[in-house]
């Protein structure tokens, strides 16, 4: 997710007239895109900031600006602004504001700049990420935020509420990637299979769709918005996988409760949708249940699924379900 966000920030800065430097030594602006989900990720950023500050003390380097973006910026705004090394702080929903923050920071030497407002609408749908053109695979962000409020997780507070990109903007991006010879796309979202395009166009095209949790799960987050018509994740997978039979389609990170029969049916019926999933959205308490549930559930469909546990739960479950 952060890799894709960095490409979005790069695209915004290039459009605003900035250039990408070839090395850290040449840069006049250094931005760190951060994660706050693990303590280790945060400590790496503190070390990196100390290193960057030491570079800034070298002769001729005092004017280099340093910014912190992403989840850590959202969570630790005040603490970061107290750091000598940090000139600007920008949360994950405020990337469009980065050129203004950078401009202010350059003009008002000594003053710090920040924007950590979360949005219920921002999906950066109209921004084509500035991706590495030599790569034959690409990430495509389809939704942002999470409403699930798992007791141990900070994501709903650093990334905000769930919102999904209009399906047409995703299809346009994937078509452009196919034209650029990309052979594999990974659809991205914190709760990727909770995707729901509730725009007016989508509601017209998909008037009948209703929210359907996987068997054995309840809709934990009940809202009128979730009950509204519009394309769901299975509909999006259907359309993306039809764009080219040669395109491999992956997605991450799925939540077990949104792995309903419609999603599994599409995955099973399309040869170009990859059938291995890393499901990390489970806590220790529900993990075994979820695993059993997914295996039972997947075995109803005529395809081979591989669910791979990536959390640190002690049960060490990893298994394959084939029919």
Sites of contact with ligand SF4 (CB under 6 A):
146, 148-150, 153, 155-156, 190-191, 255, 281
What values do phi and psi take at 153, rounded to 5? -110, 140
Sequential DSSP letters for 263-312? HHHHHHH-TTB--EEEE----HHHHHHHHHHHHHHHTTSSS-EEEEE-S-
Q: At what angle do helices 261-269 and 284-298 cross, to 10 degrees?
A: 50
Q: How far is the CB of 71 from ligand SF4 (least distance, A)?
A: 11
Q: Which is nearer to ligand SF4, 150 or 321 (CB)?
A: 150
Q: How far is the CB of 102 from ligand SF4 (least distance, A)?
A: 30
Q: How far is the CB of 60 from ligand SF4 (least distance, A)?
A: 43
Q: Which is nearer to ligand SF4, 105 or 164 (CB)?
A: 164
Q: What is the DSSP letter of 113?
A: E
How far is it, in rounded angstroms, from Cα 296 to Cα 314? Answer: 21
Q: Which is nearer to ligand SF4, 102 or 118 (CB)?
A: 118
How far is it, in rounded angstroms, from Cα 15 to Cα 47? Answer: 31
Q: Which is nearer to ligand SF4, 6 or 190 (CB)?
A: 190
How far is it, in rounded angstroms, from Cα 72 to Cα 187? Answer: 23
Q: Which is nearer to ligand SF4, 155 or 231 (CB)?
A: 155
Nearest to 257 by CA among 228, 304, 231, 222: 222
- In a 3-state reduction of DSSP, which class is residue 176? helix
Phi-psi sector, 207: left (phi>0), alpha (psi -120 to 50), beta: alpha
Sequential DSSP letters for 216-281? T---SS--HHHHS-SEEHHHHHHHHHHH-TT-EEEEE---GGG--HHHHHHHHH-TTB--EEEE--
Q: Which is nearer to ligand SF4, 48 or 75 (CB)?
A: 75
Q: Which is nearer to ligand SF4, 255 or 270 (CB)?
A: 255
Q: How far is the CB of 3 from ligand SF4 (least distance, A)?
A: 17
Q: How far is the CB of 275 from ligand SF4 (least distance, A)?
A: 21
What values do phi and psi take at 130, rounded to 5? -80, 85
Q: Which is nearer to ligand SF4, 281 or 309 (CB)?
A: 281
Q: Tell me the CA distances in angstroms from 210 to 85, 204, 227, one per residue in order.
A: 49, 13, 6
- For the chain, give the longest Cα–Cα distance: 67
């Amino acid at each position: 997710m952060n890799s894709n966000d960095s490409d979005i920030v790069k695209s915004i800065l290039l459009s605003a007239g900035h250039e990408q430097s070839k090395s850290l030594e040449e840069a006049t602006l250094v931005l760190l895109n951060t994660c706050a989900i693990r303590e280790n990720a945060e400590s790496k950023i503190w070390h990196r900031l100390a290193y960057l500050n030491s570079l800034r003390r070298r002769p001729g380097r005092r004017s280099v600006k340093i910014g912190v973006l992403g989840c850590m910026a959202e969570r630790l705004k005040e603490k970061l602004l107290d750091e000598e090394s940090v000139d600007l702080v920008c949360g994950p929903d405020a990337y469009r504001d980065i050129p203004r923050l950078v401009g202010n920071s350059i003009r008002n030497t000594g003053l710090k700049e920040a924007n950590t407002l979360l949005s219920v609408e921002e999906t950066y749908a109209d921004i084509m990420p500035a991706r590495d053109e030599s790569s034959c695979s690409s990430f495509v962000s389809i939704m942002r935020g999470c409403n699930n409020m798992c007791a141990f997780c900070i994501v709903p507070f650093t990334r905000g509420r769930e919102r999904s990109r209009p399906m047409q903007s995703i299809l346009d991006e994937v078509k452009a990637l196919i034209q650029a010879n990309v052979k594999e796309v990974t659809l991205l979202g914190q709760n990727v299979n909770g995707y729901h395009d509730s725009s007016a166009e989508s509601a017209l095209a998909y008037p009948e769709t209703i929210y359907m949790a996987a068997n054995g799960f309840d809709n934990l987050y009940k809202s009128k918005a979730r009950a509204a018509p519009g394309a769901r994740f299975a509909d999006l997978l259907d359309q993306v996988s039809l764009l080219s039979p040669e395109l491999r389609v992956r997605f991450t990170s799925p939540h077990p409760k949104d792995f309903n029969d419609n999603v599994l049916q599409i995955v099973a019926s399309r040869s170009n949708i990859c059938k291995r999933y890393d499901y990390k959205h489970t806590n220790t308490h529900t993990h075994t249940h979820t695993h059993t549930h997914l295996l039972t559930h997947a075995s109803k469909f005529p395809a081979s699924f591989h669910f791979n546990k990536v959390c640190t739960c002690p049960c060490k479950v990893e298994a394959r379900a084939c029919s």
